[in-house]
């Protein structure tokens, strides 16, 4: 907690004046996306749609355009659906109860706990990839958490939470979550940990064991040549033009340079277009592909 007080980043969504809705938007944007890419997008999003009712009234196409190049654009559509659900089911007020948050479109266990803790001060146990890595290294001597969240990891995280029986303990519990997350993001990183700057270096079982490599490494798919790259390039064209004839789609996309040297086969173009339509990110009408 002392380390976080001195080293925590001054991020806009951590401002005490940020609404619970703003916290939710930040948590969704930050999923698999770096803080540096989210910063300006979050500010622009909150300026245009400061509350659920504002976003609920927006067109899906405008939401996707505003999402820009943050990646995984289905997150934008889920936020749009969430805004509508908050207006319909909760009179436009985001609920604090994590169980109610879990009922909203696209809101999972982590996001529900994070919003309850960070926005409402409810001492929920928050567990993300950074926190799991910090706990694994300090207490288990492993370089990373298990491939998927385990019961043992949940139990450990709950045991580490400060006692919430006092007002100070309640405040510390909520700070604890973000402090552990920040330690993993800035110091106890996955690839190049700054162990010499770690406030718990002397208690770290992983360092004591000689920093062993994880037995299993997460599989990552190359971006270049992937269906995701092609889908992203198509979405870039749709955001810029609104609609495009599928007959000229390939030349239009390739002209943007977003695919680099990759020249997709016809089957990959078909998969990308069909996938976007299936996911609700685009509509196809009489050979015209457009934003929804």
The residue ranges of every structural domain in the chain are 2-120, 129-208, 227-290
Cα–Cα separations (whole angstroms), residue 123 to 72, 167, 246 = 30, 11, 51
Give domain 2-120's CATH architecture: Orthogonal Bundle (1.10)
Residue with structure tokens 């997350």? Answer: 181
> Residue 18's pLDDT is what?
97
Written out in words, the top-level CATH class of the domain with range 227-290 is mainly alpha
Element (H, E) at 285: strand 283-285
Q: With a cut of 70, list the residues of the chain below it in pLDDT.
A: 216-221
Burial of 200-231, coded b for 16+ CB within 10 Å and e otherwise, reads: eeeebebbeeeeeeeeeeeeeeeeebeeebbb
Give me the active site residues, please: 27
pLDDT at 22: 98
User: Does domain 129-208 correspond to CATH entry 1.10.1670.10?
Assistant: yes
Task: Name the pTM for this structure.
Answer: 0.91
**Count of C-beta atoms within a 10 Å radius of residue 188:** 25
Question: Which residues neighbour 96 within 8 Å (Cβ) at sequence distance 6 or greater?
Answer: 20, 116, 119, 120, 122
pLDDT at 256: 87
From CA 149, how far away is CA 96, in angstroms rounded? Answer: 24
Same fold, 2-120 and 227-290: no
Question: What are the residues whose beta carbons fall under 8 Å from the beta carbon of 66, sequence distance 6 or more?
Answer: 41, 44, 45, 48, 76
């Amino acid at each position: 907690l002392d380390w976080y007080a001195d080293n925590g980043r001054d991020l806009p969504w951590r401002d005490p004046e940020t609404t619970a809705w703003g916290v939710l938007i930040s948590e969704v944007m930050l999923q698999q996306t770096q803080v540096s890419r989210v910063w300006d997008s979050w500010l622009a999003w909150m300026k245009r749609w400061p509350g659920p009712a504002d976003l609920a009234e927006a067109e899906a196409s405008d939401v996707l355009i505003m999402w820009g190049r943050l990646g995984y654009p289905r997150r934008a559509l889920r936020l749009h659906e969430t805004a509508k659900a908050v207006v319909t089911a909760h009179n436009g007020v985001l609920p604090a109860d994590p169980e109610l948050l879990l009922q909203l479109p696209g809101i999972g266990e982590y996001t529900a706990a994070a919003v309850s803790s960070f926005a409402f001060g409810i001492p929920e146990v928050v567990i993300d990839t950074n926190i799991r890595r910090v706990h694994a290294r300090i207490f288990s001597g492993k370089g990373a958490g298990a491939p998927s969240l385990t019961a043992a990891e949940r139990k450990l995280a709950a045991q580490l939470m400060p006692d919430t029986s006092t007002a100070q303990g309640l405040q510390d519990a909520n700070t604890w979550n973000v402090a552990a997350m920040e330690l993993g993001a800035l110091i106890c990183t996955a690839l190049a940990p700054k162990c010499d700057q770690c406030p718990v270096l002397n208690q770290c079982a992983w360092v004591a064991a000689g920093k062993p490599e994880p037995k299993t490494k997460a599989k990552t798919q190359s971006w270049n040549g992937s269906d995701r790259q092609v889908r992203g390039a198509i979405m870039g064209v749709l955001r810029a033009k609104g609609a495009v004839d599928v007959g000229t789609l390939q030349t239009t996309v390739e002209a943007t340079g977003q695919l680099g040297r990759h020249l997709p086969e016809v089957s990959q173009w078909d998969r990308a277009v069909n996938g976007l339509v299936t996911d609700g990110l685009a509509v196809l009408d009489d050979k015209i592909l457009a934003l929804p």
